[in-house]
Structure 1
Amino acid sequence: MPHTAEWKVRLHLFEDDDGTTKAHVVLDTGTTALTGNGTAHCHPADTNVPEIGDELAAGRAMNDLAQQLLNIAERDIEGVGAPRPSARQVAGWPI
């Protein structure tokens, strides 16, 4: 059965005066919303390059979101009676 869906993602980045960058990502599936968060800190001895903080914080926020999605998928797989994926599989799909 064919299936098409569109999910929307919004990513917000904030940098504090102390060199801390925070990222907040929201995934809207149309029926639910999930959020992921990430931070990055600039070491005081390093040159403050905002783009690097953005990349790190955004990557960590998306990683947080990805892990939540995988956990939900695993629970849903178990909910339909399928065995829990092995450590070499992600949410029931072979690597």
Structure 2
Amino acid sequence: MTRTLHWTVGVDLTEDEGTTKARAELDMGSAKITGKGTARCNPSDVDVPAIGDELAASRAMKDLASQLMRVANRDMEAVGADTVPQHTGPGYGWPEAVT
């Protein structure tokens, strides 16, 4: 049986005085999940708004993904299945630098 769904993710960004906030919303048709992320420009750094946008949006989408995984785990537990193991190490960067 073939099944096709269309889910939409929208990301809204706002920037005010060196702080960028992102809101990522996943519309699954029957439900919506919202993730949030923030990025702040260090006063000693050059202000590049695109970098703040990228950081805030990525953090909002990471929050959204975590929430979606929790929903999937709850649904799997409800039908008696094992849940997906959670990754506990760093998600990016050099692992040896994170100690």
TM-score (norm 1): 0.86
After superposition, the CA RMSD in angstroms is 1.3
Partner of 2:7: 7
Percent identity (aligned): 54
Partner of 1:79: 78
Q: CA deviation at 1:87?
A: 4.9
What is the CA–CA distance in structure 2 between the aligned matches of 1:23 and 1:74, rounded to whole Å?
A: 25
- Higher normalized strand content (fraction of residues): 1
Question: Residues 87 and 56 from structure 1, CA distance in 2 versus in 1: closer, same or farther, beyond 3 angstroms?
Answer: closer
Partner secondary structure for residue 38 of structure 2: strand
TM-score (norm 2): 0.82
Question: Residues 87 and 14 from structure 1, CA distance in 2 versus in 1: closer, same or farther, beyond 3 angstroms?
Answer: closer
What is the CA–CA distance in structure 1 between the aligned matches of 2:84 and 2:27, rounded to whole Å?
A: 26
Partner secondary structure for residue 51 of structure 2: helix
Question: Residues 74 and 58 from structure 1, CA distance in 2 versus in 1: closer, same or farther, beyond 3 angstroms?
Answer: same
Q: CA deviation at 1:82?
A: 1.1
Deviates more, 1:45-54 or 1:75-84: 75-84
Q: CA deviation at 1:86?
A: 4.0
What is the CA–CA distance in structure 2 between the aligned matches of 1:7 and 1:87, rounded to whole Å?
A: 24
Partner of 1:30: 29
Q: CA deviation at 1:84?
A: 3.1
Give every structure 1 segment of 4 or more consecutive aligned residues whose post-TM-superposition deviation is greater than 4 Å: none
Partner of 2:69: 70
Q: CA deviation at 1:85?
A: 3.6
